[in-house]
Structures are given as structure tokens and as C-alpha cells.
Structure 1
Amino acid sequence: MKILNNKTAISAMILAAFMLVSCDENLDTPPISDGIAQNSYQTGDQLEAALTGVYESFQGNDYYVWDHVLFSDVRSDNSYAGGDNPQIFQIENLAVDVNNDRVYNAWSAIYNAIAKANVVLEQTPNVQRLLTEERREQILGEAHFLRAYHFFTLARLFGGVPLVLESVKSADPGAVRVSRSTEEETYAQIIADLQIAVQKLPDTYGNDSSVNKARATKGAAYALLAKAYAQQPIPNWGEVANYANLVINSPAGYTLQGSFAELFDGSHYNNNESILEVQYLGGNEGTWGPQMQLPQSASGDTWRKFNTPSHDLVNAFDAEGDNVRKNASILFENAPWSDEFWGNANGSSVPFAYKWKNAGGWNSSDHVYLMRLADIILLKAEALNNGGQPGAAADEVDKIRLRVNLPVLDATVRGSQELMKAAILKERRLELALEAHRWDDLVRNNVAVETMNSVQEIDLRTNTQVNYNMQEFKVFLPIPQRELNRNPNLVQNQGYN
């Protein structure tokens, strides 16, 4: 059975609407009816519909459609904001306000997804009709994985967050105003959920790749464990290497796609490199994200687009002679507007983000990779290098480089942990550009401040250099002011007023 993009998604959304309050309320008030939340699930089919609703959060959630790129690539040295949205300019300029709506929307939508997962986790043990024990265990594994994925997203954005681990059952606001956990506690919960998930999830659900890449599997849980152990405040590189190897050697048979360009041509989704991807079909089940980025030739409209690749990113591709990944990731076209970085006159040649190539009039069928094997191979390289094995790390990086016709790393790099660290960071940038990884990579490697303060970008309107004024506290976003107003137990991240 296909979990994403089937007709049950609509019924699941309707069911969730009755069962769950929006995240605007889910930390502060009880559901409209406790009776609905507690008694709605009696059959396996109802559980499957509710689980589909949890997965649908990837499709219908603005964060995973679009904002994940803003908070990683636009916030970093990979992209400029583009467009005309002042709140996205805040993200680009590293001057995010506590009242920024993009930040609030991300917090709210992600907690809404967690709330849906919590209901499935609570109700699944009670359902007896039309549900095998094998499927019950799988559903629990999927829900634990999904909750972990969303908490991982929150931890990367905000640091420690409230760990909401059950549905709202009390009308007393004091009972639902959850305090922030520490960053360490948040990652401990993520890892705990994933360790349960790997015990319950299958390697595959059969031979249909559109199902295996749409749903949580054991390989997806291993991959997320590798990423969580790497991103937590004190990385555990031994566990990163362990779980990366479990992905690489999985019975699911993950392998690098032979052609990098095929990953993003729209005709090779659900390939062997993909570990988990959001399945958009187009039409009523399409995504509007590509329309925000693609030029007139692909989108059919002339308004100024967002997520404009930076000079720094283009120069990085050119310095490496990496034409394969550059041409698959970026498209230059003359724009019918002026651009403050690429040409302060209409008709200037401007680069456009090009990893999603089919706009579809706001209903694109382009998929979004949440995790793919190249990311995990490079993460394994990072773990090996941090474990004192730069030569072994280089072997992993070379697998990625050879696919795009680049030479293997030379002996000088292979023999130095420091040079190898820089090489891995560069390789991850070129491989994963515009896929919402860059900010996390800078933070994990403790180079976010120096990297952003070293960027040389000239605003052509004034012919002055941009000053990002990056400071350590800006590694995390502010807790939305509306959440602080609603929940007095929350504490703002240091550095924000």
C-alpha cells in the first residue's frame, strides 16, 4: 500500500482536522473533543489513514516544501534571498526578528506534524480490528521515525525545544505549557525514538520503489541516526560511522545513481540512491516550491524569483572545475529585473536554483529528497576523519567525486585531518547545494561564524560590501515571540530580544 499521494491522504487530513487542534494551540489548549481523540481509532484502516496524515505533513507543510531551503541555503553562503519578501531578507542578512512569520510558521507546522505522530503512537496499541501484529509494529516504527525526524528538524533550527510526547488531554493550560528541554535532551529523545524505530521497521515494503522511498524504513532510520549523532552538541563519530555503514550495507541495496544529473531531471525519482523522498504527483498533489525558484523559461512568469545562487557558490563550482554538478544545480538566464548581486539592470544574466526543473504552474511533480546515499557517504567520511583516518575518509569522498568526473584527492589532503575536513565540507557543499544542508554543515564543523564573516559579497546598488555580522548565537533561530507569549514556560534563545 502506498502511504503518500493516495486518496486516503485527503481523508486523513479531514480526520486530523477533527482530532487535532492546530499547532497554534497544541501547546496551550486541549483538543475540541477529548472523546474524538481518544475513541476514533477502532480499525487498522483508520490507523492507516491517520498515519498517512502524518506523512502528509511533508507535502502540505511549508517548511518541507520551501522554508527548509531558506533556513539552510539562503541563510548560508549558498544563496541570496531574491524575491521581494522582507522576512526572507532577514534570513539572508542573518538578522532574523523574533516576530518573523517564516520562523513562526516553521515552528507551528512542525509541531502540528509531531502532534499527529503522537496520536498514532497512542492509538495503535489499542486497535484490534483489521490489523495484524506485524503491521502494528510497522506503524509504531513509522510513527516513531516521523516524530524523530520532526524533532530533529526543530533541534537544528532552535536547539533545545519542548518535548511534546503525547496528545493534549487536559483543559488546564498549565498542564500543556511544556518547558524547553536542553539541546542534549532533545537529541536524546530523537535517538531514543529512532532506536525503537529500527527494531520495528522493515528494510523494504516489497518491490515498489515509490513505496519504499516514500515511507520510513530501517535504512531511513539508520540514516537519521547517523545524522543525529553527528549534529548533536558533542558528536559521537563512532556511532555516525556505525549507522552510516548500516545504510551503505543495507539489504535495501542503496547505491549511487550513475549520473548525478539524473537525480534531478524529473525522470529518475525513487532511484537506488534515494533513502527517503517526498512524493509529489503534480496537479492536486503537486508542490509549489519550484515555481518560487525557476526562471521564465521554465515557470512561464516574469516576477522576481527566490533562492538566487550566490557568487560564492558559483565560484566554488568553477574553482573545482565541477561542471557536472554546477549545470545540474544552477541555470543562468537573462532576468527581466535588476538584481543587486548579479546585475543592477534589467536583462542581466542571473543564476537560478535548478535542482527542481518543472514548475508545473504551482503544481510541480518534482520530488524532494529528504535523505540520499551521497549525503550519508560524505557523513561517513566526516566520521572517519574525525576518528583520525583521513586516508579512509578520502576514499569515501573519492566515490562522490568520480561520479562527476573529478580527480581523486591528492596525497597531501589524504594525509591531513585539517585539509581533509575542508575537503569534505567543500564536497558536501557542491554535492548537496540548494538541498538544505549547508547551514547544518557549517554549524556541525564549527565554522559558521568565520565562513559567513569571510564572505565577500558586493551590493551593486551601493557598491558596498555586505556585512553579515555573524555571531555565535545566530547559529539558532529565535523562539517565535507568539510562542513565548502563549507559553510563559518557554525561554528565548540567548542573543535575541
Structure 2
Amino acid sequence: MKKIVFLILSIVSLATVSCKKFLNEIDPNRVNLNSYFKNQNDFDLAVSGAYNQLRGLYNNKSAWAMGEMRSDNTHYDYKSSDQAVATVNRNAIADFLDDKYNNQTPPKWNAAFGAISAVNIIIDHIDDIKLAEASRNSILGQAKFIRALAYFDLVRFYGGVPIYKRAPLTREETYIPRASAQEVYDFIIADASDAAAKLDATTFPQTGRATQGAALTLLGDVYLTLKKYDLAEKALKDVTKMGYSLYQNYSDAFEPGNKNGKESVFEIQFNTGLAVPQANTDASVYNFLPRMANTSIVTGVNYNNITTVGGFNTPTQDLIDAYENGDRRLDASIAIVEGTFNASDDFTASAVKSVVNYTPAPGKVGRPFPKKYLHAHTIGNQTNDNWPVYRYAEVLLLLAESLNEQGKSGEALPYLNAVRERAFGDATHNITSTDKTVLQAAILKERRVELAFENKRWLDLVRTGKAITVMTAFGVKQKAQYSYLLPGSYNVTENRLLFPIPNAEILLNEKLTQNPGY
């Protein structure tokens, strides 16, 4: 919201004519939004800027802290000497000890509203010039997809939020109350539906921009979340007719050489060949490694992540145990960095080993880390990995779930088993049960291992009504294992299913109300 206020004040200052009547000159160096959009290229640049905002929404530290560390998938390396505010607040998210003053959850809120603000300016000015119908549809379709995606993230993590249908230009338009969650969902559906109608069908190779397939996948995900399973089925079945397919090997879906490939539905774009902001500098594997003075053995690049980014999103044994014997996704998703921790809880690596049937060498400790984002690069903490938002494997699992929830369990099996056959290499591990309850558990588990480290697990637990039960039981195991956890940690209640509205936003906007329990 702070970004919105800054932008609004900037817009007002740009658009308002001075009240001093004697000053009639116009500064030629002063940008005015009412005259900025002069050709299609100006709109294309603005759309690219809106896409850029999504980087902070889906792959910064708040994204994986809230989407993965909040769940039973990952934890963190505790370091008693590191009690910096950011570290303590990030750990608090995992331990269910975060409050309205936590400084690690607001970045998601800020990034989402930054994207919404960027999109609204485009939509507000789309008729400033005459555009070819195809170009206009493409610009509006992409803009509305981005806005729907941002609001979908906001409503699931924070509940009802203010709805901005246009860029506010006054204080009255800026400081508005929260809409209900249902009103936000209705707005998302309208945007995603319009995007699907305006965007072109997916073609390969893809450009990385939103397509009709991406909009329909988002729409299917929204309908599934709202338990409108028949509508989810319709949207997702349309996606299966658009030419997407699974790579033969699971790991191929994450190879930089396969960016925006046949399994990609939508992903956040990064390119280390461009300037630093275009590199993946925040959600890279460096965050997920233990704190090391030299990461060379793991990454091939000498980088010190002790005082910067390391020690988070550590795969739990609970997640590792969720992979079945023979599931090739385990080795593709997680690896072990072997070495020793010193008295300061910093790590020295001696080898990287497979997680499958791993046993530590004498005198060594094996620490797991997410391997799926580890690929060759040349600059420390700057990787070339895109961040997956939707993959075709998820489309198949969403479709299987929507069918099963309608009692069409037999129809769900081929979609579920397509994902499993890729994982195991053949059909020997296919699921055959058509019992609805059995398949509910199987699909949820399949999503866990297929989409591990893609920031889906916490949302899945909340959406399926499993969060309190699963995380309470997980917390018991965690407190038995880690003596540093406080007695009040993992007190998972209904109020904890949403995150607090950032306190700074409450102070800025007196019409905002805080979520219960915070």
C-alpha cells in the first residue's frame, strides 16, 4: 500500500496544473501520464514493468517463507548468535509466532499492490491512443491476468483486501476499506475470464508472457479453491487441448534451457545475461543452502552466504519421507550437502550427495537443500532460473482433483497417473482406487512431492482444510526434535490460517481492519 500511496502522490503531482495562474509554461522534462502513452511500444513497456512486479510476489523471501516454511515442507537452520530482526521474523513465520509487526510478511502485500497499481495505470489509459484490436486485446489480457494473479495471492494469504479497479487519484479513493473475500474472488474471476477471452491461445516456443492457457489455468485454480468443481473442470480441460505436455524427465522442467517450454504454463522470467535486477537474486539456491563461507562445492561459485542469505527453506525429513520408493522426483528435487557445522553453527561443505538412502560419512553431517533450482551460473547469488508459477503437471493434478470432488473418480485417474508415470518411469505405481476419500489424500500427497518448493504447500493445506491438523501434529515432532523452539510455537488455530495485515498499512489507512488474532 505504501507503494500505491507514493505512486498516487506522484500521479497527482504530474497531472495537476499549478494553482498559480501566472505560471503557464509546461516543463518539457516533466512526465504526464495523460500524455505518456503515445504508441503501442509505450504500452508494451508498461506491461513489462507490471510483469516485473511479480518477481517480488512469487519468489522473494516472503513468498517461500509464507508458502513453504509455514508448512511441513521446510524449516530453517537455527543460529543462536544470529538474532537479527529479519532472521527472527522469518523464523517466526515457520514457528507460527509471527505478529502484525513482522517485517517479513509485508513484502508480499507490497509487491501485489505494486503489480495492481502498474496494471491499473495501463487499463486506465488503454484508450488514450488508437490501437489495433489484436494489440489492444493482448495488452488488456496480460494486464488483467497480472491483476487477477496478484489478487489471488492476496486473498489467500490475507483474506479480503481493498479492491482497486482503477488507479486512485485522491486520498478518498486511496484509503478505502477491505472488501470481503468473496468480493475479491468475484473480481479475480472477472479479470481472469476477460484475460482468457482476450489472450491468444498458447503457441510454442512461448515468450514468457501470459497466454490463454495461463489465464484458464488461473481460473481453474480459483474455481477449485471456491469448490466450484464443475467450472474448474471446464477451464482446465480446455487447457489440456492447447498443446502442453510433460517432459520425459521431471528435472527437465526446471532446466534453464527449457524456460517457457512445453510444460510451462506461466513462470517468472529471469536472465543473468541482462542487468542485475533481471537475475534471480532473491529466491535462488543460495537462500536454501546452509550458511557457508564458501559455497563452491555446491554451486561452483565462491560465495559467502553466512551474513547474507543462507540457512532457510531447509527440506524437512517429513517431506523426504513423503516420497515413495522409486520416485525419481526425490533425487531431482533434493540433494545433500555433506560437511560439518562449527561452534557458530556455520557450515563447511566437503561433498554433495544424493538424498536417496543417504547415510552420513563418519564425522560428517548431511544437510538437505532444494536441488531443483541449482544450475550452472557464474556470479554468486545470481542464477538464471525462472520461477514456476504454473506447470502443466499442476494442471493435470488440479483437473484430477476437480473431477474426484464431483464423484468422477474414475475420470480423475488418468490425469493423476500421467504425473505419476513420469515420476516413476512406468505405470507400475499407478493408483487404481476410485474411492473418493482415498483419492483426496493421494492427490494432496502427489501435489506435495510434485510441487515441492514451488510455494504451494501451505495454500494446499489451508484450501483442503488440513492445515490445523497436519501442522499441529508436525509441530509436536518439531518441538521434540529442536530444543530452541519456544513453548508457544506451532499453536495452529483458525486465526493462523491468514497472515496479519501489515501494521504499517493499518496506520496509513484507518479504514483497514486487522485479521482476528493479531
TM-score (norm 1): 0.86
Question: Residue type of the partner of 2:122?
Answer: V
**What does 1:24-103 align with in structure 2 at a 5 Å threshold?**
25=6, 31-34=12-15, 36-59=32-55, 61=56, 63-82=58-77, 85-103=87-105
Aligned-pair distance for 1:29? Answer: 8.6
Question: Would the alpha carbon gap of residues 388 and 159 (structure 1) be closer, same or farther in structure 2, given more than 3 Å must change?
Answer: same
Whole-Å separation in 2 of the counterparts to 1:25 and 1:346:
55
Question: Would the alpha carbon gap of residues 118 and 239 (structure 1) be closer, same or farther in structure 2, given more than 3 Å must change?
Answer: same
* Aligned 8 A contact 2:2 2:505 in 1: no
Question: Which residue is equivalent to 1:12?
Answer: none
Whole-Å separation in 1 of the counterparts to 2:412 and 2:9:
47
**What does 1:66-465 align with in structure 2 at a 5 Å threshold?**
66-82=61-77, 85-128=87-130, 131-170=131-170, 173-204=171-202, 207-209=204-206, 211=207, 214-232=208-226, 235-250=227-242, 253-283=243-273, 284=275, 285-288=278-281, 289-290=283-284, 291-294=286-289, 296=295, 297-298=298-299, 300-301=302-303, 303=306, 304-317=310-323, 320-337=324-341, 347-358=364-375, 360-405=379-424, 407-411=428-432, 414-455=433-474, 456-458=477-479, 460=481, 462=483
293-302 vs 485-494, which moves further: 293-302
Question: Residue type of the partner of 1:179?
Answer: P
State the secondary structure of the residue aligned to 1:356. Answer: coil
Question: Which residue is equivalent to 2:350?
Answer: none
Aligned-pair distance for 1:103? Answer: 1.4
Aligned-pair distance for 1:472? Answer: 1.2
State the secondary structure of the residue aligned to 1:258. Answer: coil
Question: Would the alpha carbon gap of residues 220 and 150 (structure 1) be closer, same or farther in structure 2, given more than 3 Å must change?
Answer: same
Question: Would the alpha carbon gap of residues 221 and 463 (structure 1) be closer, same or farther in structure 2, given more than 3 Å must change?
Answer: closer
264-273 vs 140-149, which moves further: 264-273
State the secondary structure of the residue aligned to 2:233. Answer: helix
Question: Residue type of the partner of 1:221?
Answer: A
Question: Would the alpha carbon gap of residues 268 and 87 (structure 1) be closer, same or farther in structure 2, given more than 3 Å must change?
Answer: same
Whole-Å separation in 1 of the counterparts to 2:335 and 2:228:
38
Question: Would the alpha carbon gap of residues 335 and 308 (structure 1) be closer, same or farther in structure 2, given more than 3 Å must change?
Answer: farther
Question: Which residue is equivalent to 1:7?
Answer: none
Question: Residue type of the partner of 2:40?
Answer: G
1:478 to 494, 500, 505: 500
List gaps (5 residues or longer) in structure 2.
17-31, 347-358
Aligned-pair distance for 1:231? Answer: 1.8
Question: Residue type of the partner of 2:472?
Answer: N
State the secondary structure of the residue aligned to 2:313. Answer: strand
Q: Deviations over 1:60-119 (max 9, x none)?
A: x26534432211111000000337511111110012210111211211121011000000
Aligned-pair distance for 1:346? Answer: 9.4
Aligned-pair distance for 1:249? Answer: 1.1
268-277 vs 464-473, which moves further: 464-473
Question: Which residue is equivalent to 1:10?
Answer: none
* Aligned 8 A contact 1:26 1:168 in 2: no
% identical equivalent positions: 29
Question: Would the alpha carbon gap of residues 483 and 347 (structure 1) be closer, same or farther in structure 2, given more than 3 Å must change?
Answer: farther
Aligned-pair distance for 1:322? Answer: 4.4
CA RMSD of aligned residues (A): 2.6
Question: Would the alpha carbon gap of residues 24 and 347 (structure 1) be closer, same or farther in structure 2, given more than 3 Å must change?
Answer: farther
Whole-Å separation in 1 of the counterparts to 2:265 and 2:151:
19
* Aligned 8 A contact 1:21 1:32 in 2: no
Question: How many aligned positions are there?
Answer: 458
* Aligned 8 A contact 1:386 1:417 in 2: yes
* Aligned 8 A contact 2:73 2:319 in 1: yes
Question: Residue type of the partner of 1:301?
Answer: Y
* Aligned 8 A contact 2:289 2:314 in 1: no
Question: Would the alpha carbon gap of residues 76 and 152 (structure 1) be closer, same or farther in structure 2, given more than 3 Å must change?
Answer: same
Question: Residue type of the partner of 1:330?
Answer: I
Whole-Å separation in 2 of the counterparts to 1:361 and 1:32:
41
Q: Deviations over 1:193-232 (max 9, x none)?
A: 111111111014x6542x1xx1111100000000111123
Whole-Å separation in 2 of the counterparts to 1:453 and 1:419:
22
Question: Would the alpha carbon gap of residues 222 and 443 (structure 1) be closer, same or farther in structure 2, given more than 3 Å must change?
Answer: same
* Aligned 8 A contact 2:54 2:111 in 1: no
Whole-Å separation in 2 of the counterparts to 1:434 and 1:28:
38
* Aligned 8 A contact 2:421 2:430 in 1: no
* Aligned 8 A contact 1:274 1:369 in 2: yes
Aligned-pair distance for 1:266? Answer: 3.0
Aligned-pair distance for 1:270? Answer: 2.0
433-442 vs 280-289, which moves further: 280-289
List gaps (5 residues or longer) in structure 1.
1-19
State the secondary structure of the residue aligned to 2:96. Answer: coil
Aligned-pair distance for 1:315? Answer: 1.1
Aligned-pair distance for 1:301? Answer: 3.5
* Aligned 8 A contact 1:294 1:354 in 2: no
Whole-Å separation in 2 of the counterparts to 1:197 and 1:179:
26
Whole-Å separation in 2 of the counterparts to 1:324 and 1:465:
36
Q: Deviations over 1:288-338 (max 9, x none)?
A: 121212462215335242110011101112xx1144111111110125436
Question: Would the alpha carbon gap of residues 248 and 480 (structure 1) be closer, same or farther in structure 2, given more than 3 Å must change?
Answer: same
Whole-Å separation in 1 of the counterparts to 2:468 and 2:163:
29
Whole-Å separation in 2 of the counterparts to 1:27 and 1:449:
40
Whole-Å separation in 1 of the counterparts to 2:485 and 2:385:
38
Whole-Å separation in 1 of the counterparts to 2:157 and 2:15:
31
Question: Residue type of the partner of 2:401?
Answer: E
State the secondary structure of the residue aligned to 2:500. Answer: coil
Question: Would the alpha carbon gap of residues 224 and 403 (structure 1) be closer, same or farther in structure 2, given more than 3 Å must change?
Answer: same
Question: Residue type of the partner of 1:226?
Answer: G
* Aligned 8 A contact 2:506 2:512 in 1: yes
Q: Deviations over 1:33-69 (max 9, x none)?
A: 225233321221111111111111123x265344322
